[in-house]
Amino acid sequence: MTTRNWLRPAWLLNRRVGIALLWLLVVAGISAVVNVTGIHVLGSIDGWERWLRAHAAHFFIWRLLLYAATAYGWWWMRGRLRQREPSREAHQRLLRVEIAAVITIVLLEGSQLLRHG
């Protein structure tokens, strides 16, 4: 193994991984800019936190809309996947992923409710 090959792992050169990393950086950058702008506009971190608490219901509705759009997209994709792979194993994999996703969302929203209840 040469030094050049060691420094360039094959998975990093994968186009899908590169696009996913780019989206991750874009989302993280946008969230940082929004937070810094909010702190600057409201004058302090405490003011920004008060504003976020005051608008928590709006953010909850926004998250519900995102969950609904994601569920609709999942339902559409699930139908196509079931047609392509009608086996019982594929159905079981989908079911496990769906259960894990629902549990994750319930835990995330439950932790928000307990934190800000």
User: For residues 106 and 66, what is the distance between their CA atoms, to the nearest angstrom?
Assistant: 14
Contacts 24+ apart (CB under 8 A), 6-14: none
Residues 6+ apart with CB under 8 A from 9: none
Residue 38 tokens read as 């909010």
Residue 85 tokens read as 């792979």
pLDDT in tens for each of the 117 residues of the chain? 555 655 666 666 678 888 889 999 999 999 999 999 999 999 999 999 999 989 988 998 999 999 999 999 999 998 898 899 888 998 899 899 999 999 999 999 999 888 876
Supply the pTM of this predicted model. Answer: 0.67
The confidence score (pLDDT) of residue 5 equals 59
Half-sphere exposure (Cβ direction) of 32: Cα atoms closer than 13 Å:
6
Could you tell me the end-to-end alpha-carbon distance of the chain, in angstroms, rounded to an integer?
56
The confidence score (pLDDT) of residue 3 equals 56
